Amino acid sequence: MSRPNLALVPPSRSMPGAAWQAVARRVHDWSVQSQLGARRNAMAASTRLAERRAEREDVEDFLRHHTADDETPHSRPERRTTGTAARTREA
């Protein structure tokens, strides 16, 4: 960031040049800090929105998958039994 040309700020009779420079510097620093803060806030909001969008898409995919499964009659989950037969079938 370049600093403003403080020579363009005219001194007045009631305020010496050094005081004008201090005021101009503070105004410039405030505007830069304000811009940086706004950019940080925008980046944080963008990140949060991207996280929410990804989560929403995951939920939509999950629901779409399970809704499609529920519509087919043969898609019922297999009954699990305890014991050796169940372990052999899964292996």
Q: Tell me the per-residue pLDDT of 55-84, one tens digit each, with 9 for 90 and over.
A: 999 999 999 998 876 665 555 556 555 555
Place of tokens 């370049």: 2
Beta-carbon contacts of 11 under 8 Å, excluding residues fewer than 6 positions away, are: 17, 20
Indicate whether this model's pTM tops 0.75: no
| pLDDT the model gives residue 83 | 56
Give pLDDT tens digits for 1-59. 566 565 555 555 666 778 888 888 999 999 999 999 999 999 999 999 999 999 999 99
Give yes or no for residue 88 having a pLDDT over 90: no
Output the CA–CA distances (angstroms, integers) from residue 38 to 29, 35, 55, in the order listed. 14, 5, 26
